[in-house]
Chain A
Amino acid sequence: MELFEAKNVDKVFAATQALTDVSISVKEQSIFGLLGPNGAGKTTLIRIINQITAPDRGEVFLNGQKLTRADISKIGYLPEERGLYKKMKIGEQAIYLAQLKGLSKQEATRNLKQWFEKFEIMAWWNKKVEELSKGMQQKVQFITTVVHKPKLLIFDEPFSGFDPINTNLIKQEILQLRNDGATVIFSTHNMGSVEELCDDIALINKSVKIEDGPTDKIREKYKSNIYEIKYRGDYNNVNHSLGQQYKIIGHSEMEKENHLTIQYLNGNSNNDLLQALMPVSEILSFEEVIPSMNDVFIKAVEESNKK
């Protein structure tokens, strides 16, 4: 069941084409990665979802219904460029922002206090924003994004400004929110976190969607016959035995075993490789390398730029 759908969305700013016929669909209770190089159009799409701008063409749906102004309270948005009122007290400010999302004052206060206690930041309640460090402010911003229990959460670079410990905390919170029923759209350049968190992704480059689907399937799709072999034996013999059939991408010699990364060149099978290696070494393990999201990203974008 799709919680969110965008269909054939076009958006033009003056002379810049920001989105060209982009469609995405986000399954309920999943984490969806919205990826792409800088200036690809991700933020524009996110702003369309938040009804900050309207698409020139195309439609967006929430829960199968066309998105309306009334849906605002069902969405929580943490923008990439974010801030808080510097002179306002944290608690007061968080209540105000929650009220703007449709919570009553009592509800807002209650929910916020729960979150503040969970993050162990109750002591900040009466402080002004300018007294907090950037990381502290990010925590407050995260809370104000999720406090009204939105069905759809949109995080744009949520980890920027966090140290590894807090990054992990936020990651756990995002997963928890998903498990509790929220659907998450997540935009980042941190591909490691995409691998960890995202069920599905869409990759946008130069206003066009160039790839989308489940994260593991896409990674699978970008496999390029690269294998990693752990063995015991002499590297020179192995190298000689492999001959011109394989491209050696890397090798390293450890105390007890050697690692070798190679690419098949001429439609070799796994058995061919094993046959070539067995006479000269003891094979400890052998597996195909699934490309990292980082590799997928670079490869997909470069290919699309060539077209």
Chain B
Amino acid sequence: MNNTLLILKNEYLKRVKKKSFIILTLLVPFLFAGMFALIIFLSLNNDKKERTIAVFDESTLFLGEFGEEEYTKYHFIPKEEYQDLKTNLKNTDFYALLYIPGNIYSNNTAQLISEKQLPIELGEQIERKLSRFIENDKRQKVIAESGIPDLEERLASTSTRVQLNTLKISDSGETQKSSSTIAFIASYAMGFIIYFFVFMYGAMVMRSVMEEKKSRIIEVIISSVKPSQLMAGKIIGTALVGLTQVAIWIVLGVVVLIGVQAFFTPESAQEMGQSLMETQSQMNPAMAQAADQNKVMEVMEMIGNLNLPLILFSFVFYFLAGYLLYSSLLGAVGAAVDNDEDSQQMVLPVTFPLILSIMLLFPIARNPEGPVAFWASIIPFTAPVAMLARVPYGIPTWELLLSMFLLILTTVGAIAAAAKIYRVGLLMYGKKVNIKELIKWLRYKN
């Protein structure tokens, strides 16, 4: 059997058979599922605690007007009791004490007193209640003074919300519905996936090289195979480990998804949807309107209108090129150092562009045409993450081609340089390596 293939197989099986790999791979989807289940569970059981809030209304405007909510009741109390409660809240059944001062109309402040940290939501609820009441009251007065009987209706009819439908003109002149939000999510997600995998599996290659060097098996191995074969086997083998992991996650993800759907009956799903809707409409009444439209269909249409083949192609290309570039560099680092501290020192300069590109992801996704986005996606070391973040928005062909060309060129160069450092470094022990030393190694012949 071909040696590269043998090494590849060995690297692959060694990792895939590891307990930690199996456990992690199986656990991650369940962790995510569990996390989502927990969030859903918590949001369903959100704030079901019965609370009674004592209200001292100095202004006397609100007496009896407060009503009550599902889990929050309001109990109005006279001044004497307020004084009493203020110092002795702990020993009563009241959850909190609301003080509405007499001059609330003019200075718009009230106090909510409690001895524990109050949920933000509760405060907002009361704020809304008070504001709406006072606003209504003021409006009624204005209407009454104006003498226009249907002013309220007329004012209400002026409320306007413009919905912006973004359309994109394709090369053939057709207009398509596009969504910046969807493109944003897509670009962010893809940039992050690439970052995550390049980093994780690149580091795996590095550790594998270091292990061989540290255990001193390396000299036996390279007396049997060429260092370049060893490196190729390692890099490809590790990539396959990554792909295996992703494949398992996809399968498990589908299984878990089906499981979750079965677990949450349609009723509970409906309930959940409703409660989500409620919170949404509470936060922004205008959004509720939009939610009425057949959003799902629209989203599907907009996803369909992204240039999916191009995105998929770019994703695969930048994923592979990015992984090759960084894993070969990290492999060289692993060969150059012979202890963990040194490796950490060397890893940072190598992976810095990758970290930079993930930090630039947000500005790029916000403004995919800007100079930051342009340069980050052209410079090969940041291109895998940066360019992918731009692709969903549509990108001039020449920029894409230039970026790919430069990336290929750099990757080939990096592999050649890494192979050289690798070969020299593998049998070099006890030497403190730095960049200067590495450059010297590059000049060695054979």
Contacts and interface: CB of A to CB of B under 8 A. Distances in A.
B1 A99 contact: yes
Contact of A82 (B6, B219, B445): B219
B161 to A, nearest CB: 63
Interface in B432-446: 440, 444-446
Given A52-B222, A75-B223, A96-B10, A85 B217 contact: yes
B444 A14 contact: yes
Interface in B374-430: 427, 429
A50 interface: yes
Contacts of B220: 77-79, 82, 97, 141, 144-145
Interface string A162-203: 000000000000000000000000000000000000000000
Given A52-B223, A75-B223, A100-B6, A83 B216 contact: yes
Contact of A100 (B216, B219, B225): B225
Interface in B203-248: 211-212, 215-217, 219-226
A99 B212 CA distance: 18
Interface string A1-17: 00000000000011000
A97 B224 contact: yes
Nearest to A99: B6
Contacts of A51: 223
B215 A79 contact: no
A81 interface: yes
A77 B440 CA distance: 29
Interface in B61-107: none
Nearest to B227: A52
B216 A82 contact: yes
B227 to A, nearest CB: 9
Contacts of B444: 13-14
B355 to A, nearest CB: 30
A75 B429 CA distance: 25
Contacts of A50: 223
Nearest to A72: B224
Interface string A183-225: 0000000000000000000000000000000000000000000
Contacts of A101: 224
Nearest to A78: B220
Contacts of B212: 85
Interface string A42-53: 000001001111
A72 B14 CA distance: 25
| B interface SS class | helix
B219 A81 contact: yes
Given A14-B440, A14-B444, A100-B3, A72 B223 contact: yes
A283 interface: no
Contacts of A88: 14
Nearest to A154: B223
Given A96-B10, A99-B1, A99-B6, A82 B217 contact: yes
A86 B444 CA distance: 32
A79 B218 CA distance: 10
A141 B216 CA distance: 12
B14 A81 contact: no
A77 B10 CA distance: 21
Contacts of B216: 79, 81-83
Contacts, number: 64
A85 B215 contact: yes
A260 interface: no
A99 B13 CA distance: 15
Contacts of B3: 100
Contacts of A144: 220
Given A14-B440, A96-B10, A77 B223 contact: yes
A84 interface: yes
A210 B14 CA distance: 47
A141 B220 CA distance: 10
Contacts of B429: 81
A143 interface: no
Interface in A79-109: 79, 81-88, 96-97, 99-101, 104
A54 B215 contact: no
B446 A54 contact: yes
Interface in B1-31: 1, 3, 6-7, 10, 14
Interface in A50-80: 50-54, 56, 69, 72, 75, 77-79
Contacts of A141: 220
A144 B219 CA distance: 13
Contacts of B226: 69
A145 B445 CA distance: 29
Nearest to A77: B223
Nearest to A104: B1
A79 B219 CA distance: 7
A197 to B, nearest CB: 22
Given A52-B222, A77-B223, A96-B6, A83 B217 contact: yes
Nearest to B426: A52
Contacts of B222: 52
A84 B219 contact: no
Contact of A84 (B10, B215, B427, B446): B215
A79 B6 contact: no
- For A50, A52, A77, the residue with the greatest tally of chain B CB atoms inside 10 Å of its CB is A52
Which of A78, A79, A100 gathers the greatest number of chain B CB atoms within 10 Å?
A100
Contact of B224 (A13, A14, A85, A100): A100
A100 B221 CA distance: 8
Contacts of A99: 1, 6
Contacts of B225: 100
A206 to B, nearest CB: 21
Interface in A250-294: none
Given A14-B444, A99-B6, A52 B219 contact: yes
A52 B310 CA distance: 44
B95 to A, nearest CB: 58
Nearest to A100: B224
B385 to A, nearest CB: 33
A60 to B, nearest CB: 14
A34 to B, nearest CB: 16
Contacts of A54: 446
A78 B212 CA distance: 16
27 contacts: A47-B427, A52-B219, A52-B427, A53-B446, A56-B445, A69-B226, A72-B223, A75-B223, A77-B219, A77-B220, A78-B220, A79-B223, A81-B219, A82-B216, A82-B217, A83-B216, A83-B217, A84-B215, A84-B217, A86-B215, A87-B14, A88-B14, A96-B6, A96-B10, A100-B3, A100-B6, A145-B220
Given A52-B223, A52-B427, 8 more contacts: A47-B427, A77-B219, A79-B219, A81-B219, A81-B429, A83-B215, A85-B211, A144-B220
Which 5 pairs, one residue from A and one from B, show the smallest C-beta to C-beta distance? Answer: A83-B216, A83-B215, A100-B224, A50-B223, A79-B219
